[in-house]
Chain A
Amino acid sequence: DQQVKQNSPSLSVQEGRISILNCDYTNSMFDYFLWYKKYPAEGPTFLISISSIKDKNEDGRFTVFLNKSAKHLSLHIVPSQPGDSAVYFCAARLVGGSQGNLIFGKGTKLSVKP
C-alpha cells in the first residue's frame, strides 16, 4: 500500500524549459512534504519542502505546489539545466512529527537535454 506515489518513473526535458515532477499521496494525516534530489552513487540531498498549511513554496528556480484537496504536489524547475538531471524523490511526514521517519515515493528520473 503505497502512501506516496510518483507515477512517472522518468521525465525528459529540454534545457531552458520547465520540468514538472508530480507526486500524489493517500494519507490526509501528512503535514509536511519534501523533495529530495539524488545523483548516482550519492545519498539524497534535500531540495525544498512545504508545510500542509501552505500551497506554494519557492526557492530560486524551484517551486513546490501543494493541492491538499487533490492530495497532490508538484515540483517545478524553471529554467531546467543539465545539472538538474537526477532522480527526484517526493517524501511526506505524518502530523505532529511523532513518527520521525519520512515516507518516500519511488522517484522520478529527470533528464535535462542540452
Chain B
Amino acid sequence: GAGVSQSPSNKVTEKGKDVELRCDPISGHTALYWYRQSLGQGLEFLIYFQGNSAPDKSGLPSDRFSAERTGGSVSTLTIQRTQQEDSAVYLCASSPGLNNEQFFGPGTRLTVL
C-alpha cells in the first residue's frame, strides 16, 4: 500500500502570508504526528493526533501554528503570518498506535522569504 504522502513538496511564500501543509497518513493508522527540521537541527516535535483524543499540541512553537485532522485521516498544518524562522522541512508521520514505529512522509520544504 501507499506510504505517508505530503503536499506540496516545496512551498515558497512571502513573510506574513499564511500557508497550509497537507499530510495523508497510511490508511488505518490512528496516530499522526507533525515534526519540523530546521537547517542543521534534529526533528522537532510539533503536534500529534491519536484517534479521537484531543491532540497533544505541546510542541507547537507559537499560536501562529495550528493543525487539524479531519475524519481521523488527512491532516493539515497551518502556519499563519509566516516568519523567516518558520523556514524548515515539515515532516508528517503516522503509526498504527502511539507505541508503534512511526512512518514518515517525504516532507514539505517551506521557504519564507
Contacts and interface: CB of A to CB of B under 8 A. Distances in A.
Interface of A: 4, 6, 32, 34, 36, 41-46, 49, 89, 91, 93, 97, 99-107
Given A101-B56, A105-B42, A43 B33 contact: no
Interface of B: 4, 31, 33, 35, 40-45, 48, 50, 56, 59, 91, 93, 98-99, 101-107
A36 B93 CA distance: 13
14 contacts: A32-B99, A42-B106, A43-B105, A43-B107, A44-B43, A46-B101, A49-B101, A89-B42, A97-B99, A100-B48, A101-B35, A102-B43, A106-B40, A106-B41
A34 B107 contact: no
Nearest to A47: B101
Contacts of B33: 100-102
Q: Which of B40, B42, B48 has the most CB of A within 10 A?
A: B42
A49 B101 CA distance: 9
Contacts of B35: 101, 104
B56 A46 contact: no
B45 A46 contact: no
Contacts of A45: 104
**Which has the most chain A C-beta neighbours within 10 Å: B101, B103, B105?**
B101
B99 A99 contact: no
